[in-house]
Amino acid sequence: MALSLLHIFFASLGIALSFGHRLNTSRSSLRAGSRKSALATAGWQPVIQDGELQEDVAEVISREDLSPGVLDILRAVAPKSPPCQCILEHWGQYSACTGSLLTAKSAWSFGIDGEDEWSEHVQKNYRIVPHTFDCFNRVAPKTFRNTFSDACMSDKAGWREGHRFTTLPRQLDGLPPASALVKMDINGSEVDALNALTDADMARISTLHVNYHFDNGCPTEEQLAKTKQVLQNVAKGLSVVESSAIYFGAPCVINGTSFPKILKVSYASHIACNTNDASSTPVHNTSPELAPCKTRHLDSKILDMTSRNRAMQKLCGKNRSSLMEAWIDPLFKRNYQKIYDSSGWVDEAFVNFFAAPNNASAFAQETELLIDSVHRFSAKPIIVFDFTLNGCPMPMWTPERFPRLVLLHATPIQPGVRFSFNKIRAMLLANVRTGIALDSDQFVFRGVDRLFSRTQQEVTASYPYPIMPVHWMSRDATDKEYSGYNFICPDCPKRTMRWGHAHPTWTFHALPFLGDMLAGQLDPAIHVLKTKVRVFEDEDALNVGLWAVGATKQWCKFDVPFPVLFLDYAKNASASLESCCKYEDPKWFPNGIPLMFYTAHAAKNVTEARMVMDVLSALGPTPPPPIFYDGAFYKSDVKLPNTISCLT
């Protein structure tokens, strides 16, 4: 029996067959990072679903019993070869490129009938308030935030039979390229509405979901010809990522071929389809773009190059030079070219490092939060090093979403050396003249950029050492408050300042210090600089090393210990902060340490941290004074009492 006759047979019995590989992913799993490429899913399997026979359009086309008219329509909505290479997210009947969802600026849903799964997903998962439209059911959805209009979509604006109509070009007018998410389910008016689009209108769409309705009667030859023309035009401007043919009720047979009652089609912009086709894993068999050991022989009188060359002296041996190599992620080469100057340096940047098994892991999610915060609250770039063995693909990281991100890849550190020393590698490899090292479980806030100019003032040729913020624990033998964490080291040099937290800022003048410190960890007998002290974490080594050279500078606490403290800051809750967070010790800061609300640390709960960031965003461009000390808030340019020994 021909399958087109099966359509008629099952429809007449009211039996539903569904051939599909759609992944109906729950919202919770999507938020945890569950993404699945349609290209990697299994073949279509028959199931019973909603009284409808659903088939993948490509499967229908593969049969030989289709009439030319029907075949032309189906070919116009079938994914082309090569297929769209983006990572697809699926929910309900919809599929979209993850990158498009993350970078979209607006969302538009036409034909909602009082509720809309598409809009609700976009609003709750991507924080875009969708514009919703329906002129027949004039009740706005209540389960999610949206901007409702009692208008319907057509090819011409105006009033007809007591209903108001608008056009898609009118709604999209003035929007940036590839920035709009659009869904259309308007009971047979889809072809006319899309026929009104110009090439410029089409270019503004990043994702388009359309239910083409033919369930009001079989289309005539004239209607088929117009449908074919419009569908082919849409397919020129956008790429089909998924499509299915729906059969139900009384069959529509055209020239002996069963014609679908609905065609469900998901489109993506060509930009979205091409964005993720470059692998996010480094090609380690190619020449690294950053390889200071290979260029250090070049004579240079430029101070930054001289400092870096000096830093490489102990790191470019036979078994070490490969640790001083990095590859630019192919997707972010344009960002690199835009951010770095012709000499391969960037003046000011944050630097971060991570390694993760996949994009859903906690480490990867924390890193993404940090990158997001930099783009929300700072004007500076962020350089991120991925030290995963084969790279960790991060499909949600795109240059469109993160235009100030440069993603670099490097091989793991040698066996026996703690992962945390990759921080020092990143600082050395980044070619940043003035940098701030941030851990993945941090986020930044407005005002943090001030630390770059302050670092330039403090880390100079006469003081060539990184500066860390004071830790909330002194780890000193005289401090009984946290005695279980005190750092006991009989062979250590004399302490010159309170224990610092390993979130250093530096200029290129400090690179030789950092190079010597990393070399000590790579030596067969581990040591810190010229001492014989053996420590195994970057924070321990940085503190001991700074004591060894007699360093005396440390920042007041710009890495506030917990994200929730920013909620007290946002409310000017000085009493609450004073009662919880003085972090005093009997030797160094008997009256407590000033907090500078520039970054938050311990942002392990990404959901909570995003909530805090949303609260901070609502403060606008002029937040409260950033420094809190002794029950009061101070502006950044106000001098604190002379008894305070940390820098602001």
Kindly state whether residues 171 and 126 are assigned to the same domain: yes
Same domain, 331 and 380: yes
Window from 42-51, 154-163, 238-247, 469-478 with minimum mean pLDDT: 42-51
Q: How far apart are CA 448 and CA 619, in angstroms?
A: 15
Three-class secondary structure of residue 226 per DSSP = helix
Averaged pLDDT, 332-350: 95
pLDDT at 51: 63
Q: How confident is the model at residue 48 (pLDDT cuts 50, 70, 90)?
A: very low
Most confident of 20-29, 192-201, 293-302: 192-201
pLDDT at 274: 67
The stretch 95-101 carries a mean pLDDT of: 81
**Domain final residue pick, 230, 246, 275:** 275
In a domain, 623, yes or no: no
Instruction: Say whether both 338 and 395 belong to one domain.
Output: yes
- Nearest CA-CA partner of 410 in 542, 289, 519, 539: 289
Answer yes or no: are the C-beta atoms of 572 and 565 closer than 8 Å: no
Record the tokens describing residue 185, joined without a space: 């389910």
Residue 572 placed within a domain = no
CATH number, domain with residue 489:
3.90.550
Judgement on whether residues 210 and 302 belong to the same structural domain of the protein: no
Structural Rg of the chain based on CA atoms? 30
State both tokens at 171.
Answer: 């709604």
Same domain, 207 and 310: no
**Amino acid, res. 104:** A
Residue 15 pLDDT exceeds 60? no
Verify that 333 and 381 share a domain, yes or no.
Answer: yes
Q: How confident is the model at residue 119 (pLDDT cuts 50, 70, 90)?
A: very high
Rounded mean pLDDT of the chain? 86
Instruction: Write down the pTM of the prediction.
Output: 0.61
298 band by pLDDT with thresholds 50, 70 and 90: low
Examine residue 607 and state whether it is found in any structural domain, yes or no.
no
In a domain, 345, yes or no: yes
- Kindly state whether residue 627 falls inside one of the protein's structural domains: no
The pLDDT of residue 117: 93
Q: Is residue 617 part of a domain?
A: no
pLDDT tens per residue across span 545-585: 999 999 999 999 999 999 999 999 999 999 999 998 999 99
Of 499, 523, 551, which one is at a domain's C-terminal end?
A: 551
- Considering the domain architecture, whether residues 121 and 177 belong to the same structural domain is answered as yes
Q: Which of 504, 522, 551 finishes a domain?
A: 551
**Structure tokens, 537:** 């974490």
Task: Give domain status of residue 383, yes or no.
Answer: yes
Select from 17, 32, 48 the least CA-distant residue to 89: 32
Distance between alpha carbon 552 and the CA centroid of its chain, in Å?
38
Asked if residue 628 belongs to a domain, the reply is: no
Q: Do 307 and 218 reside in the same domain of the chain?
A: no
How does residue 502 score in pLDDT terms, banded at 50, 70 and 90? very high
Q: Which of residues 202 and 104 earns the better pLDDT score?
A: 202
Give mean pLDDT, residues 443-447: 97
Query: Quick one: what percent of the chain has pLDDT higher than 90?
Result: 62
pLDDT at 345: 95
3-state secondary structure of 403: coil
CB count within 10 Å of CB 192 equals: 16
Residues 458 and 374 in one domain: yes
The answer to whether residues 131 and 83 belong to one domain is yes
Contacts of 246 (CB under 8 A, 6+ apart): 52, 53, 54, 260, 261, 262, 263, 264
Look-up of token digits 């003249």: 433
Cα 50 to chain center, whole Å?
37
Mark whether 235 and 384 lie in a shared domain: no
Higher-pLDDT residue of 301 and 11 is 301
Q: How many whole angstroms separate alpha carbon 519 and alpha carbon 526?
A: 9
Question: Is the pLDDT at 226 greater than 60, yes or no?
Answer: yes
Percent of the chain with pLDDT over 70: 89
- Look at the chain and report how many structural domains it folds into: 2
Residue at 253: amino acid letter: V
Per DSSP, the three-state class of 508 is: helix
Q: Which domain holds residue 172?
A: 3-275
Same domain, 306 and 239: no
Q: 394: burial class by Cβ within 10 Å (0-12, 13-18, 19+)?
A: buried
Distance, CA of 261 to CA of 563 (rounded, Å) = 53
Give the residue ranges of DSSP H helices in 584-635.
606-617
Residue 521: is its pLDDT beyond 60?
Answer: yes
